Amino acid sequence: MKCPICGNDTLDAKDYLYEVPEEGKVVLSNWECSSCGYKFRDVKPYESSEPKRLELLVEDENDMSSLVYRSSFAKVYIPELDFEAEPLNGAGAVTTVRGLLEIFLDQIGNLMDTQDIREAMDGKMKFTLIIEDGSGLSFIKNEKTKVTRFLSPSPP
């Protein structure tokens, strides 16, 4: 395929359909250009579901290690940290709760004080991770996760 960066026909684009148990199908994309080194990684929902709200009280290391899929349509809140993240620009993320906090730290950089987020990552404070997803595909793999339906303000 033609690379969107260098224009050469050296882009190796691989997409995989992956079934997430009890959650549904997602498309995993792995694209690499052998000429310029361009890389693109993405996770997108293959199907949609009812809009939902996920809540997890993160209290210990086990909770921090919980697997999270945040779809590109999901908004994230952490009330105790006065933190809010808008839906992603076309890319989903598969990570852990700790990994999600690391992504947020990378994204906000020096734009705001990150001490509270760092303390939460170090287990010095409990916090509630809330994900509201209009596509209904996001999940948090933890038996303590509360899942409720909500009315999405603008369906994907």
What pLDDT, on the 0 to 100 scale, is given for residue 137? 81
Rounded Cα distance, 121 and 99, in Å: 9
> What's the whole-number average pLDDT of the chain?
86
The structural domains of the chain, ordered by start, are 11-45 (no CATH), 52-149 (2.60.120.1040)
3-state DSSP call for residue 130? strand
Rounded Cα distance, 56 and 63, in Å: 8
Q: In this structure, are residues 96 and 66 in contact, taking their beta carbons and an 8 Å threshold?
A: yes
* 34: CB partners within 8 A, 6+ apart: 10, 12
Confidence check: pLDDT of 154 > 50: no
Q: Which of the two residues, 150 and 3, has the higher pLDDT score? A: 3
Rounded Cα distance, 156 and 15, in Å: 21
The closest of 3, 22, 23, 21 to 11, measured between CA atoms, is: 3
Q: What are the DSSP E strand ranges found in 34-119? A: 39-45, 52-58, 67-70, 74-78, 83-85, 93-96
Model confidence pLDDT, tens digit, residues 39-88:
988 777 677 678 999 999 999 999 999 999 898 889 999 999 888 888 87
CB atoms within 10 A of CB 42: 17
3-state DSSP call for residue 13? strand
